[in-house]
Each structure stands twice: as structure tokens, then as C-alpha cells.
Amino acid sequence: MARFTSFILATVLIIAFAIPATAEDLSSQIVGVWKIVSNYNKEVATGKTNYPLGQRPAGYVVYTKGGRVIFAIVAGDRAKPAAGSATDAERVMLYNTLASG
């Protein structure tokens, strides 16, 4: 009987003092601005890795307290416009090396 009582007491204490991590705690840990340092896709079947914006993309992702996310990422090796203002072809190229959401 003493063993059973000790077991019950130990179980109650473990349950009482266990503090589970809540979703709110986790979300507050990632709130802020984060720098994007890589972006790749990996095919599960073949193991092939694809870098849609190159090996060294640049960008940021923002997580808010309200649970919202916004990001902007550009190819790190994209060519800059030759003149002060971009031509239409250069604008298309720059647009194709940008992802945001």
C-alpha cells in the first residue's frame, strides 16, 4: 500500500510541475525580422537539389505577433542595370529574380 501511495504522489507531483510548451510560447520565439541565407528545393524521389534564386539569395522574412508572415527574397547573383534607369528587358530580368509574399 505504501508503494502505491508513493507512486500516486510522485505521479501527481510530476503532472503538477510539468510545464508544457504552448503554441503561444513558440510563436513569441520567432517573432521578428530574420535574414534569409538560403533557398532551395529538394526532390524527394531523386534527391536532386534546385536553387531557384541561385546559391546566395538575399532577403528577409518578418513574423509578427499576430501570426502574419511577409518575405522578400532576390537572387544574389543578379545583374544590376547598366545605366541609371533600367531598360524594359532589365526590368523583366530583375522581376524574374524576385520572390515575395
**Per-residue pLDDT tens for 12-55?**
545 555 555 555 566 677 889 999 888 889 999 999 999 888 88
Name the pLDDT band for 9 (thresholds 50, 70, 90).
low
The Cα angle at residue 35 between residues 78 and 39, in degrees rounded to 5 = 55
Cα distance between residue 39 and residue 53, in whole Å: 7
**Residue 74 counted as domain residue:** yes
Residues 50 and 40: their CA atoms lie apart, in Å, by 6
pLDDT above 80 for 1 = no
List the grid coordinates of 72. 522578400
Range of the domain at 62: 25-100
Residues 6+ apart with CB under 8 A from 45: none
Number of domains making up the chain: 1
| Confidence at residue 25, expressed as pLDDT on a 0 to 100 scale | 65
**Confidence band (pLDDT; 50, 70, 90) for 60?**
very high
In a domain, 4, yes or no: no
